[in-house]
Amino acid sequence: MSVQTILNWLGSSAAPGWIAAVIMLIGLIIQWLRGRERPSRVVVEEILETTLLSPPKAVPEPERVKLLYGDQPIEMLWMTELRVRNAGRIVIPEPDLYIQVDSHTKLLGVQLEDVPPSSELEGTASMVKDNTLVVAYPYLNPFREHRQETTIKVLCDRKPDNLTVEGGGRGWSVLFLSTAKKTKVTSKVKRIVVPLVIVGLISFPLGAVLGLFPDIETSATRGLITWLLGFVFLACSIIAAPILERWLTGRLR
């Protein structure tokens, strides 16, 4: 196949029909992916871990500043921020989320914030044990349609060794995305997508090099095909990244 043959095909009456068919097929696939039924799931994502106050370790123990929460000494004031979304397509009524840290960590307090502030979800939090609390909402609207979410800021007396979020009811469940889980998913996506990007980027200079050979027609054809392959690999990497991330995230438990 020569360059002239490809150009003649692109200029023929059949080309627009094939191009339109491919675009329509891609549109149908995207529409199917967007319209397929999603499970009713509350996704709780860990978005921030930070210390708000901690005594300098370099200071000698007798001279070190003592931290008190109420009248109890604490090692530090640690905050974990969680983002809560309804990832399904229907309203989830009265969901309860159980947040628990390891037995060596004590929960000091919790703050709930709605995004946007006008959402008025009116969530409530109550302590069950020193290391367990329950956050209850009257309802959670689907994020996709309403763009409503809420955040939970959890205060602890130290960095938790383990923090879990559980819950579930009739027709819905909870997916907790900790920082460790998100890092694991990202690394898996990179292992698949990065090679596609590398091959795509290498194809462009390789196509230019192939065009330098004496046989102009053959070299130009090879160069064009190599460039087209480069575009294909880059397009596949762009499309595959979010699909893989969503698929791998959906398989988490």
Interval 106-141: pLDDT, tens: 898 899 988 777 667 788 888 888 889 999 999 999
Rounded CA-CA distance 75/157 in Å is 6
Angle in degrees, CA 44, 50, 53, rounded to 5:
140
Average pLDDT score, the chain:
76
Which is higher by pLDDT, 113 or 227?
Answer: 113
Rounded CA-CA distance 217/124 in Å is 73
Residues in the chain: 253
pLDDT at 154: 93
237 C-beta neighbours (distance < 10 Å), count = 19
**Residue in the structure block whose two tokens are 């997508």:** 193
What pLDDT band is residue 1 in, cutting at 50, 70 and 90? very low
Q: Within 13 Å of residue 98, how many CA atoms lie on the same side as its CB?
A: 8
Q: Give per-residue burial for 44-64: e unless 16+ CB within 10 Å, then b.
A: bbbeeeeeeeeeeeeeeeeee
Q: Tell me, rounded to whole angstroms, the distance of Cα 83 from its chain centroid.
A: 12
Q: Are 145 and 196 in contact (CB under 8 A)?
A: no
Looking at 1-15, 33-47, 60-74, which range is the least confident one?
1-15
Q: Are 180 and 149 in contact (CB under 8 A)?
A: no
Which is higher by pLDDT, 225 or 117?
Answer: 117
In the β-sheet with 41-53, what is the strand arrangement from edge to edge? Answer: 107-115, 149-156, 77-86, 41-53, 172-177, 168-169
pTM of this prediction? 0.67
Q: Choose from 5-9, 18-22, 217-221 the range with maximum mean pLDDT.
A: 18-22
- The residues near 73 (Cβ < 8 Å, ≥ 6 apart) are 66, 67
78 C-beta neighbours (distance < 10 Å), count = 22
